[in-house]
Structure 1
Amino acid sequence: MRTIRLKKLGVSLACVAIIGAGSFSVMAEATFSPYVDDKGNISFPINFRTNMVHLGSWFVPSGGASGFHDVYTEKESVEAFRKTGKFPDGAVLVKELRASKSGTYTTGEGVNYATSDIKQWFVMVKDVKGRFANNPLWGDGWGWALYKPDNKAKNVATDYKTDCLSCHVPVKDKDWIYTEAYPTLNAQ
């Protein structure tokens, strides 16, 4: 996202444009999220590994979701969470699911590590205002998206209630987010 600020005669004009992969998109609100257009379509946050803060990781040893789940968000969202205990409006969470391998190293046997093989990405955008009530990928305070490695331009989720929500039910009272593995959210 590029933000251009012009100041003239004490008046500030902010122009926000989102340019990615050769496309142009208009945001729902200039202050909401650079990854959401005016219809509630969530775009994949390119370069999130270098532009966002790593909150923490989960390791799932077996099953379809096995591997490392690395979770990222914006620095401003971390700062807001540390103050309020909640993610702010427009916060973006990206969970990258990577395959894993194990081996014997000087640190021990059976050491698990993440590989470069990506299984999928989950993206959530906090929405405290309920902006997209008619969009089936928005509800319960969040926008929900799922991307596969073969096409980062296409959200393959079709209805958050059937595609996403069931995994989050145990943390319904925690704003649908498992935060136990996110030490970055704790001020130190």
Structure 2
Amino acid sequence: MHVLYASPGTIEAYRKDGHFPDGAILVKEVYRAATGAMTTGTVSHVDSLRGWFIMVRDRNGHHPASDVWGDGWGWSWFDAANPSAASRNLPMKDGIVRPTFDYKENCKGCHAPAVATEWIYIEGYPPLKH
């Protein structure tokens, strides 16, 4: 399950011109989900926090030598087990943790379908659509 956050002013700026402003911060808080039968039917609910995907808008490419900055964003994962530093291990849907050393290899593949909306799945941020 995902809970999404945007830094102040991000939603208003995106609604204005369809672009994320430089410095905008997007956070996707990721939880493991548990599913079970209840009297009302099958229910899924939050089980435990896995961590946070964080993206920082960098329209001007301020960090060209970094392996986690590019295509207009800083890309990172912060694991709940060690939230004080960006992790070099990326959890995948299958539960296997894979090392991440380059956003091009570990991030862009999942974000490729959202390239037209600046690499962001705007469906995850309903306020952007208004």
TM bin, normalised by shorter chain, reads: 0.7 to 0.9
1:109 matched residue in structure 2: 41
Structure having the higher Rg: 1
Count the aligned residue pairs.
117
Letter in 2 for 1:113: H
CA distance in structure 1 between the aligned counterparts of 2:121 and 2:7, rounded to whole angstroms? 17
State the Cα deviation string for residues 101-153 of structure 1 (Å, max 9, x = none): 23425xx31122223x1112111000110100011110000001111111112
Q: Which structure's residues are more often helix, by fraction?
A: 2
TM-score normalised by length of structure 2: 0.82
Two-structure CA RMSD over aligned residues (Å): 1.5
The answer to which structure, 1 or 2, has the higher relative contact order (CA under 8 A, 6+ apart) is: 2
2:58 matched residue in structure 1: 127
TM-score normalised by length of structure 1: 0.58
**2:112 matches 1:181:** no
CA distance in structure 2 between the aligned counterparts of 1:181 and 1:141, rounded to whole angstroms? 19
Question: Are the equivalent residues in 1 in contact too, given 2:51–2:83 (CA < 8 A)?
Answer: no
State the Cα deviation string for residues 40-67 of structure 1 (Å, max 9, x = none): xxxxxxxxxxxxxxxxxxxxxxxxxxxx
CA distance in structure 2 between the aligned counterparts of 1:86 and 1:112, rounded to whole angstroms? 34
CA distance in structure 1 between the aligned counterparts of 2:126 and 2:76, rounded to whole angstroms? 24
Q: Pick from 69, 93, 110 the counterpart of residue 26 of structure 2.
A: 93
Shift of 1:79: 1.0
Question: Where do 5+ consecutive residues of structure 1 fail to align?
Answer: 1-67
1:144 matched residue in structure 2: 75
Percent identity of equivalent pairs: 39
